[in-house]
Amino acid sequence: MMGYIKSFCGMDFVDSKRKNNFSVRIFLAAFLVSLSIFWFKSPTYSSPNLFSRPEGGVTHVLVTGGAGYIGSHASLRLLKDSYRVTIVDNLSRGNLGAVKVLKELFPEPGRLQFIYADLGDKQAVNKIFSENAFDAVMHFAAVAYVGESTLQPLRYYHNITSNTLLVLEAMAAHKVKTLIYSSTCATYGEPEKMPITEETEQVPINPYGKAKKMAEDIILDFSKNSDMAIMILRYFNVIGSDPEGRLGEAPRPELREQGRISGACFDAARGIIPGLKVKGTDYKTTDGTCVRDYIDVTDLVDAHVKALTNAKPGKVGIYNVGTGKGRSVREFVEACKKATGVDIKVEYLDRRPGDYAEVYSDPSKIAQELNWTAKYTNLQESLGIAWKWQSSHLNGYGPQTL
């Protein structure tokens, strides 16, 4: 059977093991939902009375998409910093295992609760807000694959734009005054000038970027007649994992073809795919391959926490979150080889139409206003930390069971 070729940022990989078993997926999804609902109702994992009333000196943060890659890392940091955390996730992309890890680390009553819910369900969203005393929302929940967005645009507009509207309406109705919104550099499209600043014109070129920009526009329009404290973070290519090895990135097997460049490298190192294909060696860059800005997830989470602590009523802050330094695809692949210790097979091909040579951020605004700068900027070290988790969790977080 012909392998599936996945293209991203000047790089392809071939998935020779792609399978399409729809009935199995439906069964697993139904089974997972039933387990999740049971877990939500279990008193072991939630203490409604503690979460439904404000407590002096304790900030209660709703983390949407908190079972996902970035959301789970953000939840870990918030819990370490003594925030009260409620995770809401429909587990379509998240991992129940990540939430279980967090619960084991912070088992005390009133620290963490998980709610299985879909943010597209208005009644469920309103029920969640009515039964919990939230002080702030970190809104991560979103489908987030550029290629998939071009194939399923309506899904992306529903999941990102419509769901953000429902969250914002619930926040307004229940007087939750702080929103930290997870956005993306994809809202900029293909800028002609580098580096990208917050003033760079937003002209997204795919449904993912367009849906995120629409959500931003809704938030900004709402803010004009609101005293809500709002922070919008536009971040670049996320890599890495928790330095202490507690959490990592574990995309569903059926989504592997849509994954990040680091995931493709790790899959090649593990032999899941036969190798990598890099398209384009004649760009006007130092080594001819295209250049991107890679931000470690630990730094990204730190930016979110700084945004939360600096959010001011009636004010909107918009920030790029990146290192300010572009790294070439060739450089990334070589760093991944060193991090994994595997001589990954790489084939360099002609460039792909539509790819642009360089995309990297200017993070000076967030440095000046929030005192944030990226610390985990060694590409090989970030990939090494992620690889350590990957190689010790060959099946991700394991079966989605309690």
Selected catalytic residue, list 208, 360, 376, 397: 208
The Cα-based distances of 368 to 294, 320, 362, 373, 376 in angstroms read 20, 12, 12, 9, 19
Residue 62 backbone dihedrals phi, psi, to 5 degrees = -85, 120
For residues 76 and 247, give the distance between their C-alpha atoms in angstroms, rounded to a whole number.
9
**Separation CA 318–CA 175 (nearest Å):** 22
Q: Write the single-letter amino acid at 215.
A: A
For CA atoms 19, 23, 26, 31, give the dihedral sign.
negative
> For the CA atoms of the chain, what is the radius of gyration?
20
Distances (CA, A) of 393 to 97, 138, 159, 222: 11, 28, 29, 43
82 SS3 class: coil
| 69 a catalytic residue | no
Pick the closest to residue 388 from 276, 239, 248, 253 (CA basis): 248
Pairwise CA distance, residues 386 & 336, whole Å: 10
Is the bond preceding 399 in cis, omega lying within 30 degrees of 0? no
Distance CA 251, CA 257 (A): 10
DSSP structural state of residue 59? -
- Cβ–Cβ under 8 Å, residues 113 and 61: no
Chain centroid offset of residue 375 CA: 19
CA dist 151 and 365 (Å) reads 35
Closest to 128 in 3D by CA, of 138, 115, 141:
115
DSSP-assigned letter for residue 351: P
Which residues participate in catalysis according to the annotation?
A: 208
